[in-house]
Structure 1
């Protein structure tokens, strides 16, 4: 890992530099509405920036725990590059889960060994739903989730609980979110847009 790691301020500056911190009226994958959107793909399109972010993510995990990790897994699509770069930083293999018939699963010959320690990663966490689905796939394979990490935790309802698994987001950046029925932007006549790889992010 590089000696100089991203600080919280530098990470926010990087999102701003890459036009990845957006303001408007957005519909998130959780179904919530927000006036702020973090488009991590704009950061991750630059290999140098992706590597910097991943190095800082894994450096935030305690060394004793970090040394146990033998694989990194993240849900497609948002965490594909994140998993790859975290795997590179740790020197372990990396792959991703994806949906098949609406269910998160491992495909493409990806496999985990029973008992091995896995780091589950995300780009952005709001409610933690996709992360929990990914964790369930890891556990169903017989492996264990040793830690969870994300580039940014934007949850406004407090830090998500991942069944007691240690959680190390690189940055906590709570943003305002609303249920559609309570959204003041909708009440003002604004139409929510659906950015992201799945339309809903």
Structure 2
């Protein structure tokens, strides 16, 4: 599966949106990939996550003990990817603005892969790494369905992306006129 195949699934699911969007990072973009519209379809989700699992299996040397998804966006792809890797799926969630592993325990030295939906700045993955390292886990890689930075983001561990798709992003005070003329909306989940 390549980037064009992934974007085509987003288009078929009605998840490729055009307008003026406030991303989770605070940056603005004329394109928003509404992964929830993809993940509502089990067939699309399975197809994407099975392909991501195959890439992770090829990229990670040694066993994978756990797949960890940052809530909210990483829950579904982490679970479905873990199903294809045969590893348990757990998740971190925000507690007072900081990711915590609230509902699960993880043994020290566990080899972990973080699976996220879409990466723009990599902040959620880096915050998840901090949480897991504090618990003594070894984060061996991260995976995502779409890397919106097209390989430019550094998350601190190898990042395996099913699709590399660079979409322009802008600071809110440096918008092109055509984007500034459209009222922005914020469809992300960081505040949840």
Quick one: structure 1 residues 187 and 48, their matched pair in 2 at CA, closer, same or farther if it must change by over 3 Å?
closer
Residue 147 (structure 2) aligned to one of 146, 150, 153: 153
Listed one character per residue, the Cα deviations across residues 154-191 of structure 1 (whole Å, up to 9, x for unaligned) are 126x521122x211111100000000010125874322
Partner of 2:74: 79
Q: Is the 8 A contact 1:186 1:192 kept in 2?
A: no
Runs of 5+ consecutive residues of structure 2 not aligned to the other structure: none
Superposition pairs of residues 115-130 of structure 1, within 5 angstroms: 115-130=109-124
Partner SS for 1:179: coil
> Higher relative contact order by CA 8 Å / sep ≥ 6: 1 or 2?
2
Deviation at 1:112, TM superposition (A): 1.2
Q: Distance in 2 between matches of 1:17 and 1:149?
A: 23
Q: 2:27 is matched with which residue: 19, 25, 32?
A: 32
TM-score, normalized by length of structure 2?
Answer: 0.93
Residue of structure 1 in register with 2:188 after alignment: 196
Distance 1:87 1:185 in 2: 43
The separation in 1 between residues aligned to 2:174 and 2:74, in whole angstroms, is 30
- Provide, for residues 28-52 of structure 1, a one-character-per-residue CA deviation record: whole Å limited to 9, x for no partner: 0101000000011111111221111
Partner of 1:171: 163
What is residue 162 of structure 1 aligned with on the other side?
155
CA contact (8 A) 1:25 1:185 kept: no
| Secondary structure class of the residue paired with 1:180 | coil
Corresponding residue number in structure 1 for 2:51: 56
